[in-house]
C-alpha cells in the first residue's frame, strides 16, 4: 500500500487527526514567529521554513510508520484466531473482543474462515460471528451466550459442554456437529441444518426450530420443553413436524 493510501486511512482515525491538527497548528505558530524574528533577512527566513518543512515531513512519516505497525499487528491477531494451537487462538480472539472488534456489522471475524481452529474455552458473549466458516473447529466449553452466529458453518465441529444460550443461529449449518451437553436454551435455529448432529443431553428449551432440518439428529436426553417448530421443521425420522408431536420418541 502506498503512502497516499496510508495517509487517507490515517486520517480516518480520530486520534491521528488530532495529532496531525496539533502539529499543523504548532507549525503555523512557529512559522508566524519565524516571520516576526526574520522580517528582513530572507535567507534565514528560508532556512527556518525549510527546517519546519523537514520537521513536518518527519512527523507525518512517523505517524504513518506507527499506523502501519499497528495495522500489521491487528491483521496478525485476526489470523491467529484460526490457529490450531489453543493458547494462540483463544488469546487472539479474546484480544479482539476486549478491544471492541467483534461487535456489530463491522466485526473483524464476520465471514472469516476459522476452520480447524482450537478455540476451546473461549469466551465471546454477544459477539458477531455471522457467516464465519468454522468446519471442524474445537469450541468445547466455550461461552457464546447471545452471540450472533447467523449463517455460520460448524460442520463436524466439536461444541460440547458449551453455553450458546440465546444465540442467533438462523441459516447455520451444523451437519455432523457434536453439541453434547451444550446449553441451547432460547437459541434461534431458524432454517438451520442440523443433519446428523449430536445433541445428546442438550438443553433446547424455548429454542426456535422453525424450518430447521433435524434429520438423523441424536436428541437422546435432550430437553425439548417449549421448543418452537412449524410445518417446515424436519424431525429426526425425516418426518415434518405437526401438532401433537411427542418429543419423547426422540429423546428417550
What pLDDT, on a 0 to 100 scale, did the predictor assign at position 30? 61
Distance (Å, rounded) from C-alpha 55 to C-alpha 131? 47
What pLDDT, on a 0 to 100 scale, did the predictor assign at position 68? 72
Of 182, 246, 180, 250, whose CA–CA distance to 214 is shortest? 250
What pLDDT, on a 0 to 100 scale, did the predictor assign at position 73? 85
Q: How far is residue 225 from each of residues 45, 179, 244, measured CA to CA in Å?
A: 83, 18, 13
- Residue scoring higher pLDDT (202 or 3): 202
Q: How far is residue 209 from each of residues 16, 61, 191, 235, measured CA to CA in Å?
A: 48, 55, 7, 10
Average pLDDT (155-171) is: 98
- Residue scoring higher pLDDT (218 or 72): 218
Domain range summary for the chain, segments of one domain joined by +? 3-79, 109-252
What pLDDT, on a 0 to 100 scale, did the predictor assign at position 187? 98
Distance (Å, rounded) from C-alpha 198 to C-alpha 30? 71
Say yes or no to pLDDT of 45 above 60. no
Say yes or no to pLDDT of 153 above 80. yes
- Look over the chain and give the mean of its residue pLDDT values, rounded to a whole number: 87
> What is the pTM assigned to this prediction?
0.75
For the segment 54-90, what is each residue's pLDDT rounded down to a tens digit? 766 776 667 666 667 767 888 999 999 999 999 999 9
Say yes or no to pLDDT of 252 above 80. yes
* C-beta separation of 23 from 56 below 8 A: yes
- Phi and psi based region of residue 57 (left: phi greater than 0; alpha: psi -120 to 50; beta: remaining): alpha
73-82 contacts, C-beta under 8 A, 24 or more apart? 74/101, 78/108, 78/109, 78/112, 81/109, 81/112, 81/114, 81/117, 81/119, 82/112, 82/113, 82/114, 82/115, 82/116, 82/117
Architecture of domain 109-252: 3 Solenoid (2.160)
Say yes or no to pLDDT of 1 above 50. no
- Phi and psi based region of residue 133 (left: phi greater than 0; alpha: psi -120 to 50; beta: remaining): beta
Amino acid at each position: 500500500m502506498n503512502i497516499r493510501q496510508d495517509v487517507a486511512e490515517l486520517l480516518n482515525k480520530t486520534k491521528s487527526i488530532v495529532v496531525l491538527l496539533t502539529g499543523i497548528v504548532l507549525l503555523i505558530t512557529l512559522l508566524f514567529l519565524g516571520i516576526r524574528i526574520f522580517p528582513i533577512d530572507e535567507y534565514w527566513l528560508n532556512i527556518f521554513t525549510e527546517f519546519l518543512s523537514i520537521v513536518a515531513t518527519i512527523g507525518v512519516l512517523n505517524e504513518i510508520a506507527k499506523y502501519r505497525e499497528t495495522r500489521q499487528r491487528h491483521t496478525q491477531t485476526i489470523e491467529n484466531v484460526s490457529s490450531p494451537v489453543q493458547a494462540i487462538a483463544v488469546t487472539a480472539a479474546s484480544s479482539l473482543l476486549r478491544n471492541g472488534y467483534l461487535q456489530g456489522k463491522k466485526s473483524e471475524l464476520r465471514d472469516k474462515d476459522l476452520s480447524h481452529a482450537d478455540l476451546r474455552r473461549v469466551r465471546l458473549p454477544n459477539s458477531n460471528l455471522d457467516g464465519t466458516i468454522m468446519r471442524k473447529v474445537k469450541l468445547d466449553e466455550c461461552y457464546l451466550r447471545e452471540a450472533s452466529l447467523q449463517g455460520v458453518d460448524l460442520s463436524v465441529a466439536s461444541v460440547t459442554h458449551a453455553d450458546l444460550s440465546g444465540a442467533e443461529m438462523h441459516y447455520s449449518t451444523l451437519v455432523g456437529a457434536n453439541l453434547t451437553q451444550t446449553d441451547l436454551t432460547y437459541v434461534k435455529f431458524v432454517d438451520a441444518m442440523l443433519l446428523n448432529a449430536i445433541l445428546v443431553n442438550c438443553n433446547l428449551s424455548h429454542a426456535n426450530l422453525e424450518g430447521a432440518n433435524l434429520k438423523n439428529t441424536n436428541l437422546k436426553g435432550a430437553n425439548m420443553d417449549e421448543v418452537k417448530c412449524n410445518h417446515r421443521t424436519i424431525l429426526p425420522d425425516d418426518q415434518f413436524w405437526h401438532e401433537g408431536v411427542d418429543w419423547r420418541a426422540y429423546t428417550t
